[in-house]
Amino acid sequence: MQALSPHSRRPLEPRLLAFGGGSGGSGRSTLARALAQNLAQRGRSVLLVDASFQGGYHHIGWPEMPRAVAREQDLETEHFDLQAAIVPGGRDKPSLLSIPFTRRGVAFPPRVRAAQLVRTLRAGSWEDILIDLDARPDAFNATILALSEYPILVTSTEASSLLYTVETLRQMLAYALLLQPEADTLERKLLDALESLSAHYTLQDLENAMQHPPLQSLLQRVLSAAAPWLLLNHTRDANERDLAQPIALGIGAITGVRPRVLGAIGYDAERGDYLRSGALDEPLRAPGDTISVLAERLTHMPHLINTQPRLPAHIAPSPTDLIGIPQTSSPQEIRRAWRHLWDGLRQQSNFTEYILPAEAREQVLEQLEQANQELQYAQAKAQAERRQTQADRRYQSTVAQELQRARNAKGMTIQSLSRRAHIGLRYLEAIEAFEIPALPREVYLRGYLREIARALDLDPDDLTKKYLVELHAARSAALES
């Protein structure tokens, strides 16, 4: 998968997984650290990047404290080396890079630039790089998310956390636009368009601002390429965990980009004990997805992507794409997924009450209802076609095919046979096609078959017997089905 930047990931280049979104207390940092630990225990080479400018905490409990490097080199130069700031991991342990330790002193903020940081990280030899961002939807965090292959938005079901998550996605898209190659030539028009947007702009506002044709093309490409993931945390029960997919669909209605769902984790009051004891690799005890389950999904991301197809909002999706399931899904799976989304968006929750505008909500519900009707019609049509195919296969007759071959061998058309045997063309066509509903009553059919046999120099008794045997078998099979 490619990031929103023009960069194309090389085969041996590390994967960048950036954890953003949510508000303070959403559990983003705890999840990033636990997942880094679990991936390392699976034998993968992992680097955990503590990119929180507000102090960071990942160095707590680490075998070795990071050391400051800003006094030794200028981090704002084009080339800088962060290797000295990386604390190497032990066996089955991730390495750690703590951005707060790159600053010159307590009175100075970190001065690492996002693009330079990503470029330096990509040059490393790790398999996975997990970047733990803070909750601020600012330029640094938005750029890191836009440059990463797997931007993961961590949120709880609290209104403030959901609001921060949507705002983070908005900022990621805005900076993704600025990262595109054409941004330099369109700089003034692009900046004017972005400056005209309010803080909580909608997809319609964004499209209205990008009226200039080159800007429209730029926007469509970014919306098509954006592929964030949603990780719902601190869910208290099954009802809240079931909101993950409806929230993702609602976010797509607001921003134009629908995240795929990485998972939903249950609320765990003992999470603090995990941190104090250093046992972050233990499974969470509350119901819901565990760290091990999430790590397994991160290891097999291409498979997970195939299970959640997602087309951008500006492309008219098929009903299954709107529902977010493969087109090969069974009718029961389609119905269950549709009902899941429908119920999740109709019920009152922090997301539907405070985050998703009422107009957007009604529009999505209308699209879901239309998708459901289209799928029901398509399923009914497919079922009818299957029945017809089975019927056609069941009603094929070897003796009727022999009749056609015998007529053709005589060089006779069906019209000439009709005149010679004194049989109506409609009945003769039904006999040769073995079209059971159009066949005459059996008492007349026997006579017609004998006349056909005489006209084609066939044995009348043998033809009549074989034809009626197949006819009775086909009618019995139809009654059984």
Average pLDDT over residues 248-277: 79
- Write the pLDDT tens digit of every residue in 85-118: 888 887 889 999 988 887 766 677 667 788 888 9
Q: Residue 1's pLDDT is what?
A: 43
pLDDT band at 226 (very low <50, low <70, confident <90, very high): very high
Average pLDDT over residues 402-409: 91
Q: What pairing do the DSSP bridges indicate for beta strands 150-155 and 15-20? A: parallel
For residue 94, the SS3 value is: coil
pTM of the predicted structure, to 2 decimals: 0.76
163-172, 269-278, 319-328, 415-424: range with lowest mean pLDDT: 269-278
Task: Quote the CA–CA distance of 341 and 319 in Å, as a whole number.
Answer: 13
Q: Are 421 and 439 in contact (CB under 8 A)?
A: no
Q: What is the mean pLDDT of the chain?
A: 85
Helices (H), 21-158: 28-41, 114-122, 139-147
Q: Residue 382's pLDDT is what?
A: 75
The number of residues making up the chain comes to 481
Identify the residue with better confidence: 278 or 83. 83
3-state DSSP of 51-63: CCCCCCCCCCCCC
Q: Residue 135's pLDDT is what?
A: 86
Q: Residue 62's pLDDT is what?
A: 82
394-396-398-401 Cα dihedral, nearest 10 degrees: 180
- Write the pLDDT tens digit of every residue in 282-310: 554 556 888 999 999 999 998 888 888 87
Backbone angles phi, psi at 31, to 5 degrees: -65, -45
Average pLDDT over residues 327-335: 84
Locate 111 and state its tokens.
């001065």
Average pLDDT over residues 53-73: 71
Q: Residue 444's pLDDT is what?
A: 92
- Write the pLDDT tens digit of every residue in 117-170: 898 899 888 999 999 998 888 899 999 999 999 999 999 999 999 999 999 999
Locate 308 and state its tokens.
């959640």
Asked whether residue 202 carries a pLDDT value surpassing 90, the answer given is no
Task: Quote the CA–CA distance of 49 and 59 in Å, as a whole number.
Answer: 10
Q: Residue 388's pLDDT is what?
A: 61
